[in-house]
C-alpha cells in the first residue's frame, strides 16, 4: 500500500523541515525579543522602529517575503549569506525570511506578556538602582516569557507549518517533496495523508510539551 | 522649614562635624496629576538619623511625597536634594542615587520569579557588584535579623504578607542605604501581621537609620518618630514632635483628623 514511498527520501525532507523550524525559531526568538525591547524602550526612535517593523512585516504575506529573499536579496543584490551551493543559499535565505516574518509575532506575544508584569515590579527594581536594560533583562522579560509560553507555542506551531513556503524557492523540505510525489505518483490522497501525519507528529508533541512547560513556568503572585 | 526637634535627634547616631546635617531637602515642591494638585509648595528637611513620620488623610499627597524623594514620581517644580546633591534626571546618575535610597512599598513588590534569597542578593550583585558568596552571606544575615531566615529558599507567593514585607525591608537594607523610605508599609497587611513589621521598623529606628515613613499607624508615629509631618490637600499642614502633635495639635485640620481616628 505504501510502495509509492520507495525512492523518495521522506524522512530527509522532514529533517530539512525540522532544521528550518529550529533555526528560524531560535532566530525569531532573539530578534523578536529585541523588537519587544525596542517597543517598550524610553527612546522614541527605537519605539518608532519597532512599531513600524511589526506593522509592516506581519501584514506582508510570507510567500512574498520568502520570494523576495531569493529574487531580491540573492539574485538582485547578490546576498548569499556566506554559502556556496544553491541548496545551502536557499536554505539560509528561507531561514532569514522566516525569522524576519515570525519575529513580528514573537514580539507581539512577548509585549502582551510584558503588560502582565505589575508596575510595582519595575518600580521595586528601579528603586534598587537597576538601569533600564537590567530592569528589562532581570525582572520584566523573565516574568513576561513565563506568561507567554502558551502564545509562543502557537507561534512555533504556525512557524513549523509556515516552513512549507520555503518550497517556493526550492528548499528541499517536506512540501517540495510532496509536490514532486504528487506529480509522479497516483496515490494523491495517501500522499497528502502521509505529509499531514508528518506535520502532526512534529507539532502535536510540541504543543503538548509547551503546554506543560507553560503550567510549570507560570509565575505565582 | 527647619526641623524644630533638636532634642529628639540627639539620641540617634549622628556624626557631628559633617558640613550639613540635612540628608534630604525638599524646597517648594509642586506636583500635579492632570488637574489634581497633589503637592503644593512642599518644603521639608530630613536630618541624618532622624525618623520622620508622614500622616494625614488619604489623597493628601503623602505617598507622592515619599515617591518623589527617589524620583519614582517626577515633580513639576521645586528642588529635591539628597545628601546635598540635587536629584538627577533619569539615567545612570539617578540609578546610582536610588541605590543609596531604600524603598519599601505598600504592596511589597518582591520579585515574583525569584526566591526570597535571590530577592535580597539581586541588588548587591547587580548594582553593588558584590560576589555571590558575600551577597548571600549578607542576605542571610539580614533575613535572620528581620525574622524570616528560614524562608530563604521559598518564593514570595508562599509567604504571608507580613513575612513578604519583612523580606522587602531586608532587600532594601542589603543595599546599605543612607535613608529608608516606607510608603504605607503596613496598609496591605492583615491586622495580626502589622506588629511584626512595625517591630522591625522600630528596631531600625533605634539603630539610627534615617527614615521617612508614610503610615496610618499612630502608635508607631508616637513611639518611633522624631518628627511628625501632617499632610492634607497636598500641603504640609503641621510639622512638629509626636508629643506635641498628638496632645496639642495646632491646626483645626489636624484636630479634625485626630478626632476621627483616635476616638472610636
Enumerate residues 6+ apart whose C-beta is below 8 A from A36: A50, A106, A107, A110, A111, A114, A141, A144
Can you tell me the distance from the alpha carbon of B51 to that of B199, in angstroms, rounded to the nearest whole number? 14
CB–CB of A134 and B126 under 8 A? Answer: yes
Q: What is the pLDDT of residue B90?
A: 83
pLDDT digits (tens, 9 = 90+) for B251-260: 999 999 998 8
Q: What is the pLDDT of residue B5?
A: 43
pLDDT digits (tens, 9 = 90+) for A73-126: 888 898 888 878 888 999 999 999 999 999 999 999 999 999 999 999 999 999
Among A118, A129, A142, select the one facing B98 at the smallest CB separation. A129
Average pLDDT over chain A, rounded to an integer: 93
Contact A28, A159 (CB under 8 A): yes
Among B98, B99, B126, select the one facing A138 at the smallest CB separation. B126
Among A57-66, A79-88, B171-180, B228-237, the least confident range: A79-88
Residue A221 has pLDDT above 50, yes or no: yes
Look up cell 510570507; give the residue.
A62
- Residue of A180, A175, A150, A181 whose CA lies nearest to A161: A175
Q: What is the pLDDT of residue B4?
A: 44
Residue A143 has pLDDT above 70, yes or no: yes
Give mean pLDDT, residues B104-113. Answer: 96
Q: What is the pLDDT of residue B20?
A: 67
Residue B197 has pLDDT above 70, yes or no: yes
Residue A191 has pLDDT above 50, yes or no: yes
Q: Please enumerate residues of A whose Cβ is less than 8 A from a Cβ of B.
A: 42, 118, 120-121, 123-131, 134, 138-139, 142-143, 146, 219-221
> Does any CB of chain A come closer than 8 Å to the CB of residue B31?
no
Q: What is the pLDDT of residue B261?
A: 82
Q: What is the pLDDT of residue B21?
A: 82
Q: Which residues of B touch A146 (CB under 8 A)?
A: 113
CB–CB of A219 and B113 under 8 A? Answer: yes
Contact B80, A110 (CB under 8 A): no
Helix axes B116-126, B161-173, angle to 10 degrees: 20
Q: What is the pLDDT of residue B7?
A: 40
Residue B78: phi and psi, rounded to 5, are: 105, -175
Give mean pLDDT, residues B103-120. Answer: 96
Q: Which residues of B touch A134 (CB under 8 A)?
A: 126
Q: What is the pLDDT of residue B10?
A: 39
Q: Which residues of B touch A129 (CB under 8 A)?
A: 95-100, 123, 127, 175
Is pLDDT larger for residue A221 or for residue A163?
Answer: A163
Look up cell 550583585; give the residue.
B125
pLDDT band at residue B6 under the 50/70/90 scheme: very low
Give mean pLDDT, residues A29-53. Answer: 96
Q: What is the pLDDT of residue B232?
A: 93
Look up cell 512599598; give the residue.
B105
Percent of residues, chain B, with pLDDT higher than 90? 84
Residue A29 has pLDDT above 60, yes or no: yes
CB–CB of A123 and B105 under 8 A? Answer: yes
- Domain boundaries defined on chain B: 110-176
**Chain A, nearest residue to B68 by Cα:** A127
H/E run at residue B23: strand B22-33
Interface of B with A in 67-96 (CB under 8 A): 70, 72, 90, 92, 95-96
- Best residue in A41, A116, A128 to probe B by mutation, most B CBs within 10 Å? A128
The CA distance from A142 to the nearest CA of chain B, in Å, is 8
Average pLDDT over chain B, rounded to an integer: 90
Locate A104 and state its grid cell.
513580528
- Domain boundaries defined on chain A: 10-217
Contact B62, B54 (CB under 8 A): yes
Can you tell me the distance from the alpha carbon of B132 to that of A74, in angstroms, rounded to the nearest whole number? 49
Q: Which residues of A touch B92 (CB under 8 A)?
A: 131
Q: Which residues of B touch A138 (CB under 8 A)?
A: 122, 126
Q: What is the pLDDT of residue A85?
A: 87
Residue B89 has pLDDT above 80, yes or no: yes
CB–CB of A128 and B99 under 8 A? Answer: yes
Give mean pLDDT, residues A55-65. Answer: 96
CA angle A191, A96, A146 (to 5 degrees): 90
Can you tell me the distance from the alpha carbon of B151 to that of B164, in angstroms, rounded to the nearest whole number? 10
Q: What is the pLDDT of residue B161?
A: 94
Give mean pLDDT, residues A153-177. Answer: 95
Sign of torsion over alpha carbons B146, B150, B156, B162: negative
Give mean pLDDT, residues B197-208. Answer: 94
- Residue of B214, B234, B261 whose CA lies nearest to B53: B214
Residue A30 has pLDDT above 90, yes or no: yes
Residue A211 has pLDDT above 90, yes or no: yes
Contact B226, B50 (CB under 8 A): yes
Enumerate residues 6+ apart whose C-beta is below 8 A from A128: B98, B99, B122, B123, B127, B171, B172, B175
Residue B264 has pLDDT above 80, yes or no: no
Q: Classify domain A10-217 at the CATH topology level.
A: MetI-like fold (1.10.3720)
Terminal Cα distance for chain A, rounded: 56
**Chain A, nearest residue to B171 by Cα:** A128
Residue B196 has pLDDT above 60, yes or no: yes
CB–CB of A124 and B175 under 8 A? Answer: no
- Best residue in A114, A124, A141 to probe B by mutation, most B CBs within 10 Å? A124
Residue B14 has pLDDT above 60, yes or no: no
H/E run at residue A109: helix A86-114
CB–CB of B98 and A124 under 8 A? Answer: no
Cα torsion through B34, B36, B42, B47, rounded to 10: -80
**Chain A, nearest residue to B95 by Cα:** A129
CB–CB of A220 and B155 under 8 A? Answer: yes
Give mean pLDDT, residues A136-149. Answer: 95
Q: How many CB pairs under 8 A join A and B?
A: 69
- Residue of B73, B174, B157 whose CA lies nearest to B111: B157
Between the CA of residue B184 and those of B38, B88, B220, what are the distances in Å? 17, 25, 12
Residue B11 has pLDDT above 60, yes or no: no
Give mean pLDDT, residues A141-148. Answer: 95
pTM of the complete model beyond 0.95: no
pLDDT digits (tens, 9 = 90+) for B203-225: 999 999 999 999 999 999 999 99
Q: Cα A144 from chain centroid? A: 18
Q: What is the pLDDT of residue A6?
A: 84
CB–CB of A124 and B105 under 8 A? Answer: yes
DSSP A142: H
Amino acid at each position: 500500500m505504501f510502495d509509492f514511498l520507495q525512492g523518495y527520501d521522506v524522512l530527509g525532507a522532514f529533517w530539512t523541515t525540522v532544521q528550518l523550524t529550529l533555526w528560524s525559531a531560535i532566530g525569531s526568538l532573539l530578534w523578536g525579543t529585541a523588537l519587544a525591547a525596542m517597543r517598550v524602550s524610553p527612546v522614541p526612535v527605537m519605539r518608532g522602529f519597532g512599531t513600524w517593523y511589526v506593522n509592516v512585516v506581519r501584514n506582508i504575506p510570507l510567500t512574498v517575503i520568502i520570494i523576495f529573499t531569493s529574487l531580491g536579496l540573492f539574485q538582485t543584490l547578490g546576498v548569499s549569506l556566506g554559502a556556496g551551493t544553491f541548496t545551502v543559499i536557499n536554505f539560509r535565505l528561507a531561514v532569514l525570511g522566516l525569522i524576519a516574518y515570525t519575529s513580528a509575532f514573537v514580539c507581539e506575544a512577548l509585549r502582551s506578556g510584558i503588560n502582565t508584569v505589575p508596575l510595582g515590579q519595575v518600580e521595586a527594581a528601579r528603586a534598587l538602582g537597576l538601569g533600564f536594560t537590567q530592569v528589562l533583562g532581570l525582572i520584566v522579560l523573565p516574568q513576561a516569557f513565563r506568561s507567554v509560553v502558551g502564545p509562543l507555542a502557537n507561534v512555533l506551531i504556525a512557524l513549523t507549518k509556515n516552513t512549507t513556503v520555503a518550497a517556493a524557492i526550492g528548499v528541499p523540505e517536506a512540501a517540495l517533496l510532496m509536490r514532486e510525489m504528487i506529480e509522479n505518483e497516483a496515490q494523491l490522497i495517501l500522499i497528502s495523508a502521509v505529509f499531514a501525519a508528518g506535520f502532526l507528529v512534529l507539532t502535536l508533541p510540541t504543543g503538548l510539551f509547551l503546554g506543560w512547560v507553560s503550567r510549570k513556568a507560570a509565575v505565582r503572585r | 522649614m527647619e526641623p524644630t526637634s533638636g532634642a529628639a535627634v540627639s539620641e540617634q547616631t549622628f556624626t557631628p562635624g559633617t558640613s550639613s546635617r540635612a540628608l534630604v531637602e525638599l524646597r517648594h515642591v509642586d506636583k500635579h496629576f492632570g488637574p489634581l494638585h497633589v503637592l503644593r509648595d512642599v518644603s521639608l528637611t530630613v536630618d541624618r538619623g532622624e525618623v520622620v513620620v508622614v500622616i494625614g488623610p488619604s489623597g493628601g499627597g503623602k505617598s507622592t511625597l515619599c515617591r518623589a524623594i527617589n524620583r519614582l514620581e517626577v515633580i513639576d517644580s521645586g528642588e529635591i536634594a539628597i545628601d546635598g546633591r540635587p536629584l538627577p534626571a533619569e539615567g545612570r546618575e539617578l540609578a546610582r542615587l536610588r541605590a543609596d535610597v531604600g524603598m519599601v512599598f505598600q504592596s511589597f513588590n518582591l520579585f515574583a520569579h525569584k526566591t526570597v534569597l535571590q530577592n535580597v542578593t539581586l541588588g548587591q550583585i547587580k548594582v553593588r557588584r558584590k560576589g555571590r558568596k558575600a551577597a548571600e552571606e549578607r542576605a542571610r544575615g539580614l533575613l535572620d535579623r528581620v525574622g524570616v531566615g528560614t524562608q530563604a529558599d521559598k518564593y514570595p507567593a508562599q509567604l504571608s504578607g507580613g513575612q513578604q514585607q519583612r523580606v522587602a525591608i531586608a532587600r532594601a537594607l542589603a543595599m546599605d542605604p543612607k535613608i529608608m523610605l516606607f510608603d504605607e508599609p503596613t496598609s496591605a497587611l492583615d491586622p495580626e501581621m502589622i506588629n511584626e513589621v512595625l517591630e522591625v521598623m522600630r528596631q531600625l529606628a533605634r539603630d539610627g537609620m534615617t527614615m521617612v515613613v508614610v503610615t496610618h499607624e499612630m502608635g508607631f508615629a508616637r513611639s518611633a518618630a522624631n518628627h511628625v509631618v501632617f499632610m492634607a490637600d497636598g500641603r504640609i499642614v503641621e510639622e512638629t514632635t509626636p508629643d506635641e502633635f498628638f496632645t496639642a495639635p495646632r491646626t483645626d485640620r489636624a484636630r479634625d483628623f485626630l478626632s476621627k481616628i483616635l476616638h472610636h
